[in-house]
């Protein structure tokens, strides 16, 4: 079993829909990251969380430390949100990544 599990693996949405991507982890962590990867490889950090909730524009990230679970929400989705979204946990020395969720938003 992977230390970081994401669901769903693939997600197709219509423009304007509310999107949720889930991440569960099985190890003790000090921080959780949500990352975005566009075709071509570049990875951009969206959020770094250790508790509670953070919001940036149309993106919201939450974490429940007791349940070892985090969610990334996208409100009013847009085709430019199409990308791979990756959850990663920090175990003290390095990041451990989930497999990613491929999101496609259709107009």
Footprint of other proteins (CB under 8 A): 4, 30-31, 33, 40-45, 48, 86, 88, 90, 93-100
31 vs 60, beta carbon nearer other proteins: 31
Could you tell me the smallest distance in angstroms from the CB atom of residue 100 to other proteins? 5
Contact call for residues 18 and 77 (beta carbons, < 8 A) = yes
Kindly report the three-state secondary structure assignment for every residue of 35-80.
EEECCCCCEEEEEEECCEEEEECCEEEEEECCCCEEEEEECCCCHH
58 vs 90, beta carbon nearer other proteins: 90
Contact call for residues 4 and 96 (beta carbons, < 8 A) = yes
Write the CA distances from 6 to 16, 60, 107, integer angstroms.
23, 16, 25
Could you tell me the smallest distance in angstroms from the CB atom of residue 49 to other proteins? 10
65 vs 95, beta carbon nearer other proteins: 95
Could you tell me the smallest distance in angstroms from the CB atom of residue 13 to other proteins? 20
Could you tell me the smallest distance in angstroms from the CB atom of residue 37 to other proteins? 9
Tokens of 33: 């990251």
38 vs 78, beta carbon nearer other proteins: 38
């Amino acid at each position: 079993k992977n230390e970081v599990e994401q669901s769903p693996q693939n997600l197709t949405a219509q423009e304007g829909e509310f999107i949720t991507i889930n991440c569960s982890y099985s190890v003790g962590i000090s921080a959780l990251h949500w990352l975005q990867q566009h075709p071509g490889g570049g990875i951009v950090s969206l959020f770094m969380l250790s508790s509670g909730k953070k919001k940036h524009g149309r993106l919201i990230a939450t974490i429940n430390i007791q349940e070892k679970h985090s969610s990334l929400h996208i409100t009013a989705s847009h085709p430019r949100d199409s990308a791979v979204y990756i959850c990663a946990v920090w175990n003290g020395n390095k990041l451990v990544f989930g497999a990613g969720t491929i999101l496609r938003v259709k107009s």
